Structure 1
Amino acid sequence: MLLVYHIAIIFQPWAMLVGFIGTEEPLEAIWKPMTLLNVWRIPLLFYVSGMGVCFAIRKRNWLQLLRERSQRILLPFVFGFLAIAPLHFLVFQEYYGLPLGYYPHAGHLWFLGNIFCYVLLLSPLFFYLKKHEEGRFVQKLRYLMRKAVGPLSVISFFVIEALLVRPRPFELYAETWHGFFIGLLAFFFGFLFVLIGKPFWQTVLKWRWLYIGLAASLYTLRFLEFNLSAPGYLMAIESNLWIFGIFGFGYKYLNRPGATLRYLSQAAYPVYIIHMAVLYTAAMLILPLELSPFLKFLGITVFTGVICMLLYEFVIRRIGFLRPLFGLKVKAGTETRKPVLPKSAGTME
């Protein structure tokens, strides 16, 4: 969905204004469904990242967590800042005949910097809550989250953020205070949801259709009455309703570990890191072709998806020193193993 979202930007008349390669044959109609995604796709990432920290601290102290998050978040961010994000800007310069220059920047990896800041800011509180997991505060949260209104009460914090920050537009998250604060809230509550455990997951499972229905109603209102740009507080409500509904469906259908899900979950992070450079390359190669705009859109989508997965499978995943640069753990098979001694050696002094 993320690939399709970014590719759809190429076919909008304002693509160049946000640093994307653009086409002279736009497909403005495909942006309508993209506006359904753009209010929740980034907050969802921050929710999931906070959840990941809750899982991580189960077997780590603060120093171990900081070391692990530095390897998984900070290292790919710095590497991407210096070596990955500049690539798609080079393709942009080449496509438009601009002088080629190397410009390190965060680009689409900006959210990694945010996540690492959140780890530093919130870790003391997280370890305190983990230590008092059976305390009164967490128990009250578990009681609240057993009710349909429990997750809905969380939305009030996002509404306050929208009223105070007044983002314009709401879906502009990258390198803005709105993106920082909404990410901080989602990261914090993502941690809490995992800490709370089953009461939260059973509630979103039970009421998932209610949350999705309310979100769809707010999207319809945004579409019909506000030309897709509703007041920030309404978009904050809609955003979280979509996310809670997605959590409910995810808990029902994706809560079954398997080889395919494990493979795709590991591929998601490296593919995200490289996808913009591949996407821009696809646009440079396909946009000049004598094809209809829709076929170009389809071609760029297929090219980007296939090349990203091939790079992951045959390069990133298999070359040991590249793995940590793309947020993957070093393979256990690369560790030094003790030699197996012959049986006779065991009897020798």
Structure 2
Amino acid sequence: MMKTERRYDIDWLRVIAIGLLLIYHIAIVFQPWAMFIGFIRSDEFLEGLWKPMTMLNVWRIPLLFYVSGMGLYFAMRKRNWKQLLLERTKRILLPFVFGFIAITTLHMYIFQTYYDMPLGYYPHVGHLWFLGNIFAYVLLLLPLFFYLKKNENGRFKNGLSKFMGNPVGPLSISIFFVLEALLVKPQLFALYAETWHGFFIGFLAFFFGFLFVYSGKTFWQTVLKWRWLYIGLAAVLFGIRYFNYATEAPGYLTAIESNCWIFGVFGLGYKYLNKPSKILSYLSQAAYPVYIIHMFVLYAGAMFILPLEIPILLKFVGIVAFTGLACYLIYEFIIKRIGFLKPLFGLKWKSNKAKKLMKMYHLKIKDSSN
């Protein structure tokens, strides 16, 4: 098996993207259209809060798809196709099915309770649509990815590495995202959940995320060197989208803006975040279970805090604090500590530390018997 370099910046970006997702979903509660997409809605609104969200919402989900494709590359370095498929089934499909049956129903139950609706069991994909998409991409792309893995010293990889050596290289893949926007014609670019637009844009980001890591260090050196160029282009395109189109620009422009933000973020992450820390070690384990449970926790916080007679900004801060604290407590004292729950939330049954201790124990027994 090949020893691979741990990419802490990619782990950090996954954690940060999920943290932004929590804030984003809480911000929806304070928008007048929240109920149209199944969210509990505040009677008072913070529409100004949505202004920064319109910058985030065109790249936060594609970023997660890119990172997921990168993660698959690293997972493939240690596994054959059977092992990888089994590992992804346990880590993605099992939590997806469990969440569909048992988790998304909870926030729907809270929604029904809050609005005095007839209570009913309503299994649905909800926010876990992302996991279903990822598993589908793994199934669709695995043969191609393993073919590329077998030809890592071939002309394609060498050519790809050279092409990624200039700032136009990463940007050029935006052509595919532009074509997706022109062909699918999404009503809203950021409407990813359970749409063909979300499926295809996720497919492209997952595929190119794999290729970026596959191409070697050249891609990372490029986004590091040109990160401010990408961020500058993204800022200009966001300004055009914000002032000329009231935040909903044509899809082809938004597709380019989205990738520019992401490449800039990759460059910043590679420069500042590619180092280990105890905080990262904890958060990278917690992020996946928190993603799975955060919606019903958020809804519970909204149900308790929104009726309080306090300023609306305090309600927002209160729901943020409640969601963060409750997710931590559920993860730390329930999910993390009850063995059979771990795989249902994407965690390994045994920790790596436990495996190492077990291995040391067996070695000691073997030595003592000799």
User: Which interval holds the TM-score relative to the shorter structure?
Assistant: over 0.9
1:138 equivalent in alignment to 2:172: no
Counterpart of 2:97 (choices 74, 78, 84) is 78
Partner of 1:161: 180
What is the SS of the residue equivalent to 2:77? helix
Measure, in 2, the Cα distance between the counterparts of 1:100 and 1:190.
Answer: 42
Partner of 1:291: 310
Partner of 2:325: 306
1:51 equivalent in alignment to 2:70: yes
Measure, in 2, the Cα distance between the counterparts of 1:27 and 1:346.
Answer: 70
Measure, in 2, the Cα distance between the counterparts of 1:180 and 1:342.
Answer: 51
Partner of 2:198: 179
Measure, in 1, the Cα distance between the counterparts of 2:193 and 2:300.
Answer: 22
What is the SS of the residue equivalent to 2:173? helix
Deviation at 1:123, TM superposition (A): 0.2
What whole-Å deviation, never above 9, does each CA across 1:176-212 have from its counterpart, x for those lacking one?
1000000000000000011112000010011111101
1:271 equivalent in alignment to 2:290: yes
Partner of 1:194: 213
What whole-Å deviation, never above 9, does each CA across 1:279-331 have from its counterpart, x for those lacking one?
00000000000011111011001100111112111211121111111111122
Measure, in 1, the Cα distance between the counterparts of 2:216 and 2:195.
Answer: 32
Mapping for residues 324-339 of structure 1, pairs under 5 Å: 324-332=343-351, 333=354, 338=362
Measure, in 1, the Cα distance between the counterparts of 2:366 and 2:53.
Answer: 64
Partner of 1:225: 244
Q: Which amino acid aligns with 2:251?
A: G
Measure, in 2, the Cα distance between the counterparts of 1:265 and 1:113.
Answer: 21
1:120 equivalent in alignment to 2:139: yes
Deviation at 1:340, TM superposition (A): 6.2
Partner of 1:109: 128
Deviation at 1:346, TM superposition (A): 3.8
Measure, in 2, the Cα distance between the counterparts of 1:10 and 1:130.
Answer: 45
What whole-Å deviation, never above 9, does each CA across 1:49-73 have from its counterpart, x for those lacking one?
1001100111111111100000110
What whole-Å deviation, never above 9, does each CA across 1:120-148 have from its counterpart, x for those lacking one?
00000000011111111111110010101
Q: CA distance change for structure 1 residues 163 and 346 in 2, over 3 Å: closer, same or farther? A: closer
Mapping for residues 61-72 of structure 1, pairs under 5 Å: 61-72=80-91
Q: Which amino acid aligns with 2:343?
A: P
Partner of 1:245: 264
How many residue pairs get matched?
A: 346
Q: Which amino acid aligns with 1:181?
A: F
Q: Which amino acid aligns with 1:265?
A: S
Partner of 2:299: 280
Q: Which amino acid aligns with 1:237?
A: I
Deviation at 1:339, TM superposition (A): 9.9
Measure, in 2, the Cα distance between the counterparts of 1:346 and 1:13.
Answer: 71
1:235 equivalent in alignment to 2:254: yes
Q: Which amino acid aligns with 2:168?
A: V
What is the SS of the residue equivalent to 1:59? coil
Q: Which amino acid aligns with 2:52?
A: P
Deviation at 1:238, TM superposition (A): 0.5
Partner of 1:6: 25
What is the SS of the residue equivalent to 2:44? coil
TM-score if structure 2 supplies the norm length?
Answer: 0.91
1:89 equivalent in alignment to 2:108: yes
Measure, in 2, the Cα distance between the counterparts of 1:38 and 1:18.
Answer: 15
What is the SS of the residue equivalent to 2:238? helix
Measure, in 1, the Cα distance between the counterparts of 2:131 and 2:365.
Answer: 46
Measure, in 1, the Cα distance between the counterparts of 2:255 and 2:106.
Answer: 34
Deviation at 1:23, TM superposition (A): 1.1
What whole-Å deviation, never above 9, does each CA across 1:242-269 have from its counterpart, x for those lacking one?
0001111111111102221111111111
Partner of 2:57: 38
Measure, in 2, the Cα distance between the counterparts of 1:244 and 1:75.
Answer: 32
Gapped runs of 5+ residues in structure 1?
none
Counterpart of 2:118 (choices 80, 95, 99) is 99
Counterpart of 2:168 (choices 130, 136, 149) is 149
1:15 equivalent in alignment to 2:34: yes
Report the more deviating stretch, 98-107 or 310-319: 310-319
Measure, in 2, the Cα distance between the counterparts of 1:131 and 1:59.
Answer: 13
What is the SS of the residue equivalent to 2:166? coil
What whole-Å deviation, never above 9, does each CA across 1:82-125 have from its counterpart, x for those lacking one?
01111000000000000111111110000100000000000000
Identical-residue share of aligned pairs (%) = 69
TM-score if structure 1 supplies the norm length?
Answer: 0.96
RMSD across aligned C-alpha pairs, in angstroms?
A: 1.6
